[in-house]
Structure 1
């Protein structure tokens, strides 16, 4: 890392430093919410905002190009909980049952978790430069969230609006929607929206600090209050019976409200529709029909575990159908039609649209050596961490190659639609490895995690590189920021996960890690082919329904229909099944606030202000949650003394 810093200019060093500070806060926040709900935010737009405000404390504020490097570093640091599987893969391995799966639970030590993170942390980073040349420079795909961040940075730094350099293409008019259809962590990072309608009015510096400070403080204070008085975050809905037996409670968390604001009203509406169907219809049906006789909240025998399978069917069908037009365009336009044009004035005669000089680009030799090194070292590290019985080295190698191929699909889908279906891509990898290494449930989960990590990182970095392309920031400086952020985040994420794991049961009541059950459930299904009673019929029905809905939504979005955002998102709908009603309802409040605010006030008269407030809400609870880890031993001692008579009050007999 020291070598990289010496290459960077002094001005870029401070941008990276600020990015690391913001990224560490995002890392704790994303891990906290990821383990609770499976939802992780990319937060690139919020990082640019907060970085701009923090830079005002410096003798010389950062420039727009430095802000690009700052938010790139922050994103690389803050999204490691998903890239390294801390919110899904590692908890899933801890759920293994020796009697059922033939292998004991896998709990990684701190050093083993660092080794696993190093194995998957850099492949996507080295994959991003060649993908940038193809999808950003040559094809000029939209990458709506990256474009939104670029436009926001131009507003903050009082620059002329950047040239989006997006060639006319189907569906681009739809990019002005305020929806992130797949604003769910394990499916895709929530992509900050309003690409073509970034507000032109600046928020005054003092007002921005005020909004961020009070929203952060309010969320933090509420989190501390809920820590000492848990009933605050568990308000019964419709009476105590439905709350205790059917899990209908409400969590008035300001951070959940902030997440709802960021996700947008259409996405939160889809999530709550899924919540009503899953918890209001299917859960009682499975319980009363004795298909799921256990307690409602039990993930094995209860109705929560039963509706999990329906949720999995919805997510897979939605992701696969959404990928169809991307695969078609890739095969037809780039391979078939491109090969036909080789003899004429087609690809052979096309000049590159690259406008950066060689000294600002990432050299090809770095990319080749980096990709080869990350694959070889990653394969070796996975073998050292999980052993030969976990996954064969040759299988890990194939996992990296497959992850690279799937990353191309994910990046193209992200560039076209702002949706990165990384979960669906991970499931494709699981299906493939169920064939080439059957019966090995650990190998199945790890292979899916390797593929998901590559696709997720490549997609995130492509959004950042799109921002840099619009603001004319150095791609090489962004590359350094990505590497430095990933290096630091390995240690930060592993340490934070170890702290949470030592203080709480994961998965458990406080951190249910719902995506872990999705990973493990599919791996078991592919191995055994056994499903809970009657779940197969409902899986088929809902898969067919949402295949049709996804096809219609994809067609509407690509044809430029402004109403496409109101077609239910299958992924968001499925998330309503995975999480209890308390998680979805509070986010709906945020979605409603976002919709009403922009309807009444308008995006031009306060859009940035609302983003700042939402960011403060999200960061407040995530950061203060770390304080609860320190307070936990004292709180436990206090509770134990309150429940057990003190031994000092009377002599022992």
Structure 2
């Protein structure tokens, strides 16, 4: 009986393998040439999707600094946009061009490259840290915080800076794409997840699945947009509207604990893991619920009574520097861990290759892997093109950046570009194994080094711009490898992938600064809802690099030591004892509420609770619909920012102020 079942199973397996082989052979035959994979309608769709997500991530950058990964939802929007376009074309009786998985991949790649500039361009961190408001917040009387280190945001220098720094990262690792994707077989989880979704859309049953996701996306997009519009009418003054609703009471509201009805962060909470959301809530309770009220009582003892609480020598100094300690502890631990992990993995891989006398027989590989490798290598990108391009862009950057920012000397930029390929390789290899992009940590290391080497007068600017330089190269090269992985699994040409990444990057270099100035001119950036917490963090990191610990308020150093150690221990426990470690909060996530407050952590935990309950009720449906619903919530709320900003710019104010105060008691 067992033998009969085994025989039936093997026959079924052979049948499935045969069907898969036929389908893959059909896919290979239908692959359009790489020049046809990039289409005009695809570029138009990419610009639209890139702009929408640029607005969303810019809002998140300037409010909390927490930005989840949108690759999967960008692929969904790409599918929605072209399917909608084809329906319109069909009604007009024009011949519609078939929509392939390769075009879907190209649109997703181009759109992600576009909004990635808004994510990592420094608009909420190292570039914004140069403006006058952040300079004042860091303390005018702080030694090392020189008035010469101020550079107000402007479209011309921001666009120029992005163009001369971002394109270098595109070419840093192109010669190593075969090694990373085929030889080392790195998984790149985000790239793989995106490819699985795109492949799923373009199957016989994919349309049915996609229709459900599209319907869910459109329903929640509409609801979120209309809710944003409705809320606007009640925000006609400072502290007005649903965003200031004291949901948990006025005492809790005073300590930033309330639900602000933000669809953006509910959607973000649905995408982020439960651990991230609970870490945010824990950080909010620890800081705003316990620490800041207690330290505030030390006024007159730990810091002078005459100082306002937002001074860097007062309570605000503890908020900023303790958050920096958590960020640095988490960053340094993961930086060292990733380097060791990368080194060990490389050593094992090289050892295995050296032990194999002959190359592995391609015929022994699974059919789908063999075919995908064949397509991936068919249209190679010449190594000399990548190398010459890298040198040309590097030379341009070495000349222009010191002219734009004289404190950053040309030889520092030269050294950065010499080291960049090695740093990019380490980061991309680690991201391929763990899905963690450590570019910010590479940037922070360079920030401290350059700030210390450049001295008091030049250290802040040199550190901040040098940080952006390294972070940009390392991050973009890692993102490109994620895209190459997606292209490998969807049978998309690497040449088309690189071209679409370049197009998206060029578009992003213009769209991201324009989006930033939409917020910068319409809202009060640096205070209120748009605190831009990382701007003050990065500036103070640079000051710390210049001045050392003399910049800290009384007893702040001891607290920083404690939280730095906590970050190291929490990560160690997570890696060494998973049973205990799974209950440890993420220090990087904990640090954000220390500066911003607890309200957005409550929003994200609500999103997390929705996903948890949905999985309990119907796990299969939740897996299908959560990305679509979350994307709809974020896109609707994010898109409302555009008309709200335009209304603010033309001085149209909401008609009603809804405010809350204690009741009058007799």
Q: Same fold (TM over 0.5)?
A: yes
Residue among 384, 390, 394 paired with 1:375: 394
Unaligned runs of 5+ in 2: 1-32, 87-95, 236-240, 363-369, 658-666
Question: Following TM superposition, by how much is the alpha carbon of 1:437 offset from its aligned partner in structure 2, in angstroms?
Answer: 2.1
Q: 1:628 aligns with which of 630, 644, 647?
A: 644
Counterpart position of 1:20 = 47
Q: CA, structure 1 residues 129+554, in 2 after alignment: closer, same or farther (shift >3 Å)? A: farther
Residue from 447, 451, 459 that aligns with 1:430: 447
**Greater CA drift, 526-535 or 582-591:** 526-535
CA 1:584–1:305: 2 relative to 1, 3 Å: farther
Q: For residue 522 of structure 2, what is the aligned residue in structure 1?
A: 503
> Quick check: 505-514 or 91-100, which moved more?
91-100
Q: What is the root-mean-square deviation in Å for CA atoms of aligned residues?
A: 3.0
Q: Is structure 2 residue 355 aligned with structure 1 residue 355? A: no
Give 3-state SS (helix, strand or coil) of 2:374's partner. coil
Q: Is structure 2 residue 547 aligned with structure 1 residue 528?
A: yes
Q: Secondary structure at the match of 2:169?
A: helix
What does 1:39-438 align with in structure 2 at a 5 Å threshold? 39-57=66-84, 58=86, 59-60=96-97, 62-94=99-131, 95-97=134-136, 100=142, 101-104=145-148, 105-158=150-203, 204-230=209-235, 231-244=241-254, 246-290=255-299, 291=302, 298=310, 300-332=312-344, 334=346, 338=350, 345=355, 355-356=374-375, 360-386=379-405, 388=406, 390-438=407-455
Q: Residue in 2 aligned with 1:173?
A: none
CA deviations over 1:484-530 (Å, ceiling 9, x no partner): 00101111111122222222232222321111111111111111122
1:56 alignment partner, SS class: helix
Q: Is the 8 A contact 1:287 1:303 kept in 2?
A: yes
Secondary structure of the residue that 1:447 maps to in structure 2?
A: helix
Q: 3-state SS of the aligned residue for 1:51?
A: helix
| Separation in 2, partners of 1:543, 1:488 | 39
1:302/1:248 CA distance change after superposition, 3 Å: farther
Q: What residue number does 1:171 align with?
A: none
Q: CA deviation at 1:609?
A: 1.6
Q: Is the 8 A contact 1:127 1:371 kept in 2?
A: yes
Q: Count how many residue pairs are aligned between Structure 1 and Structure 2.
A: 586
How far residue 45 of structure 1 moved from its aligned partner, in angstroms, is: 0.3
Q: Is the 8 A contact 1:312 1:518 kept in 2?
A: yes
Quote the residue 2:632 is aligned against: 616
Say if 2:280 and 2:593, in contact at 8 Å, map to a contact too: yes
CA contact (8 A) 1:44 1:149 kept: yes
User: Quick one: which of 583, 586, 595 aligns to 1:578?
Assistant: 595
Pair 1:555–1:14, CA change in 2 (3 A): farther
TM-score by length of 2: 0.81
Higher helix share: 2
- In the TM superposition, residue 442 of structure 1 has moved relative to its aligned partner by 0.5
Matches within 5 A, 1:511-522: 511-522=530-541
Q: Which residue of 2 aligns with 1:467?
A: 486
How far did residue 548 of structure 1 move? Answer: 1.7
Secondary structure at 1:236 match in 2: coil
What residue is the counterpart of 2:90 in the other structure? none
Does structure 2 retain, via aligned residues, the 8 Å contact 1:147–1:470? Answer: yes
**How far 1:483 moved relative to its partner?**
0.2
Distance 1:348 1:511, change over 3 A: farther
Per-residue CA deviations over 1:394-426 (Å, capped at 9, x if unaligned) read 112223334433322322222222221222221
Moved more, 584-593 or 410-419: 410-419
Gaps of 5+ in 1: 1-5, 160-199, 642-653
Change (3 A) 1:158 1:92: same
CA contact (8 A) 1:326 1:412 kept: no
Larger radius of gyration: 2
